[in-house]
Amino acid sequence: MRQTDERGFALPAVIAVTTLLFTLVTFVAALAVRSHEAGRLYEERMRVKYAAETGIAKMQQEWALGQRKQDTLLDVGGVTVYVQVEEKPDNALHVVATGYGEKGVQQTISALIDQKTLAIINWIGYHGNKKTEAPMEHSKRHLVLIGMMGTGKTTIGQAIAAQVPLPWKDTDQALVAKWGCSIADFFALYGEERFREEETQMLEACLAEPSLLLTTGGGIVLREQNRQLLAERAFVVHLDAEPEEIIRRLTQTNEERPLLKGDLRQRVYDIYEARRELYRFADVRVDTTGKSIDEMATAIVRAWQDHV
């Protein structure tokens, strides 16, 4: 009887002490995990902030070399940095750099820069996870990729299509579907001028739709009329790549590109040089050299989301 009493008393006490100990250990462990996570988040914020600042410095360097002052997507040590530039009175540039890191960390820093000397007039400040002031230009309701053959418009477009709720069209693919023959065959049958006419009509039809993700043929910028239409109605991203990288990529594909027939290297260098200025009207430029398709797609989606 006594034994039963002792057991009856001991058991609840053991359970209570064990429960208390368990709760205490769990609490301390949770605190440790949380402070470790907070530390990691703090480190990530610092890394992204530093990348955004470096992004501004990189653009200052490029502008010093004569590069056009234009919005640009950069990769700074694995952090995507979107640098937006706005002309201000008194020869000043307002430059806003947003770095996008891991764990949803986003840091923005902005500065006023003297257009002539490229010196920083003053830093405007940092803010975390805050959208930059990019007023939506409602007429620019399409997302369009332009760029030289082989810069990845179609491939990156496909990856973007999986991330944004926009219908995706590719002018080359739409033309092939319309004609029922390849671009190379169309060129052989009707020549380049007729192709350009068809391309413009297709562009007009696409831009008349409510809102599209549109990937274009490399030569869409040849016609002034097309450049104007695009500048008015689309948020235009210029995919760029070094000619050597373009040559490497195009050597690995079987797709026939009529304008590259003959000496591929020479053709790529010639066309690149001839069109270099024609791509410059884009809202954003991005260098895809050495970058993966997914990382490009994610960076462009961010720039688009900033635009809308």
Ligand X SMILES: O=C(O)C1=C[C@@H](O)[C@@H](O)[C@H](O)C1
For residues 101 and 152, which CB has a smaller minimum distance to ligand ATP in the complex?
Answer: 152
Q: Count residues contacting ligand ATP (CB under 6 A)? A: 19
Q: Are 98 and 132 in contact (CB under 8 A)?
A: yes
Q: Rounded to an integer, what distance in angstroms lies between the CA atom of residue 217 and that of residue 198?
A: 12
Residue 253 is a binding residue for ligand ATP (CB under 6 A): yes
CA quadruple 36, 39, 45, 46: dihedral sign? negative
243-251 helix and 264-275 helix, angle to the nearest 10 degrees: 140
Q: Which two tokens stand for residue 135?
A: 């007023």
Partner residues linked to 75 by β-bridges: 80
Residue 172 is a binding residue for ligand ATP (CB under 6 A): yes
Residue 219 is a binding residue for ligand X (CB under 6 A): yes
Of residues 193, 28, 55, 46, the one with CA closest to residue 113: 55
Q: Rounded to an integer, what distance in angstroms lies between the CA atom of residue 97 and that of residue 89?
A: 20
Q: Are 243 and 174 in contact (CB under 8 A)?
A: no
Instruction: List the x/- string, 143-182, binding to ligand X by CB under 6 A.
Output: ------x----------------------x----------
Per partner kind, with CB cut-offs from 5 to 8 A, the member of ligand ATP, ligand X, Mg ion, none near residue 293 is: ligand ATP
Q: Rounded to an integer, what distance in angstroms lies between the CA atom of residue 149 and that of residue 216?
A: 10
Q: Which stretch binds ligand X (CB under 6 A): 18-26, 57-65, 67-75, 254-262?
A: 254-262
Is 152 marked as binding a ligand?
yes
Residue 257 is a binding residue for ligand X (CB under 6 A): yes
For residues 51 and 146, which CB has a smaller minimum distance to ligand X in the complex?
Answer: 146
- Give me the residues that bind ligand ATP (CB under 6 A), please: 147, 149-155, 172, 217-218, 249, 252-253, 257, 288, 291, 293, 296
- Give me the residues that bind ligand X (CB under 6 A), please: 149, 172, 183, 217-219, 257-259
- Binding-site residues for Mg(2+), in ranges, read 154
- Binding-site residues, in ranges, read 150-155, 172, 196, 218, 257, 275
